[in-house]
A and B are shown apart, each in its own frame.
Chain A
Amino acid sequence: AQSVTQLGSHVSVSEGALVLLRCNYSSSVPPYLFWYVQYPNQGLQLLLKYTSAATLVKGINDFEAEFKKSETSFHLTKPSAHMSDAAEYFCAVSENSGNTPLVFGKGTRLSVIA
């Protein structure tokens, strides 16, 4: 069975500082991996996805994530945090690009301090 662990339910960074949100996955087959962002009172928006092509994936708003098979990790980073990045971030895994539902981590709330 697949699973996702997000380390840290709440991360706080200063504006302009590096953002690092951690995600580790478990999957018996090569995974498809996703990061979603949820702003208050909104649905989830896709930030980026890994689908077995390049291991370094670039997404929207200067976010990127690196797939490391040896560490079963897919950490999300952004070089410089903006106030507008404050949101809930979810990592998700799927077995393939087809039918299988995404399995989500419990989320990490990012706070950005001025």
Chain B
Amino acid sequence: DAEITQSPRHKITETGRQVTLACHQTWNHNNMFWYRQDLGHGLRLIHYSYGVQDTNKGEVSDGYSVSRSNTEDLPLTLESAASSQTSVYFCASKGDTGEQYFGPGTRLTVT
């Protein structure tokens, strides 16, 4: 069955370090998204991609970057981790039917 996976599932890092969260989907979807989930804010869009070599900024993109070198993967990089980036991060992909399929999430703690 097609799926979307994220790794690591849990990560603790220190302020100022660079961190990369992986997202891999086997749906063969062109559209992929990164959200962060925080209490009281729901899910907020960080970055998204409509295909290979395409990236776009979302609502809360400052301090984050993505790259898309193939259809299956959209890694999210925190250039210099800050405590405000402690959150749960969800990757999603979207096909032609409109709904988004979500990964299990990565819980990131920045100390």
Binary A-proximity of B70-111 (CB < 8 A = 1, otherwise 0):
000000000000000000001010101111111111000000
* Total residues of chain B contacting the partner, CB 8 A: 26
Question: How many Å lie between the Cα of A107 and that of B90 in the bound state?
Answer: 15
Residue ID in chain A nearest B49 by CB atoms: A99
Q: Which residues of A contact B33 (CB under 8 A)?
A: 101-102
A104 in contact with B42 (CB, 8 Å)? yes
Q: Which residues of A contact B35 (CB under 8 A)?
A: 104
Question: How many Å lie between the Cα of A94 and that of B92 in the bound state?
Answer: 14
Residue ID in chain A nearest B9 by CB atoms: A41
Q: Which residues of B contact A43 (CB under 8 A)?
A: 90, 102-105
List the one stretch of A11-19, A44-52, A62-70, A77-85 in contact with chain B.
Answer: A44-52
Interface CB pairs A-B, < 8 A, 25: A32-B98, A36-B102, A41-B105, A42-B105, A43-B90, A43-B102, A43-B105, A44-B90, A46-B100, A49-B98, A51-B98, A90-B43, A94-B98, A98-B31, A99-B31, A101-B33, A101-B48, A101-B94, A101-B100, A102-B94, A102-B100, A103-B45, A104-B42, A105-B42, A106-B41
